[in-house]
Each structure stands twice: as C-alpha cells, then as structure tokens.
C-alpha cells in the first residue's frame, strides 16, 4: 500500500437517521460541528436523511404508487392542447 494517501483521523462518529431518529456508531473521518450524547459519551454527529433502518429496500416496506391514476390525471390536464 502507498503511504500518505489514507486519512489518519479515524474516530467514532454517531450517524443519526432524521426520518426515524435511529442512531448508530461507527468509525469515520466525516467532519462535523455538532455532537450528540449516546450512553453518557459525547460523539461527533452526522445527520442523514435515510439509512439502512428507513430505506424501503432494507425494510421491505415500499410505497404503492398509483401509476394509472397519475397517467389519467396527466392526460386530462394536457387534453386541451391536443389538436
């Protein structure tokens, strides 16, 4: 391995999923100004919109999209431009 190309500042960081407030700890070099207390210990905090605990692929829960209704709505909206 080449020397000097990998970051040296690995530390334990708390990642928080903002959609379901799940917090998990892992080592990271991510920069952040916020902190959070987990089990009496303060960690740097990185906020995320989605994670493995809220993503439909991992949870098995997906939204049913009414594509037929959306297509009908589109057709009626733009029918006035049809010649």
Nearest to 28 by CA among 18, 40, 15, 42: 15
What residue segments make up the domains of the chain, in order of their start?
A: 11-80
Q: Give, for all 83 residues of the chain, the pLDDT tens digit.
A: 788 888 888 999 999 988 888 899 999 999 899 999 999 999 999 998 888 777 766 667 665 555 567 777 778 888 877 76
CA–CA distances in Å: residue 64 to residues 46, 57, 68: 31, 14, 12
Residues 6+ apart with CB under 8 A from 26: 12, 13, 15
pTM of this structure: 0.62
Task: Output the six-digit token pair for 43.
Answer: 């960690």
pLDDT number for residue 59:
66
């Amino acid at each position: 391995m080449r020397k000097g190309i990998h970051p040296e500042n690995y530390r334990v960081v708390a990642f928080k999923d903002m959609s379901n407030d799940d917090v998990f700890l892992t080592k990271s070099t991510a920069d952040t100004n916020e902190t959070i207390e987990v089990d009496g210990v303060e960690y740097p905090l990185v906020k995320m919109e989605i994670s493995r605990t809220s993503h439909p692929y991992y949870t098995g829960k997906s939204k049913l999209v009414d594509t037929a209704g959306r297509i009908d709505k589109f057709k009626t909206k733009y029918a006035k431009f049809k010649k």
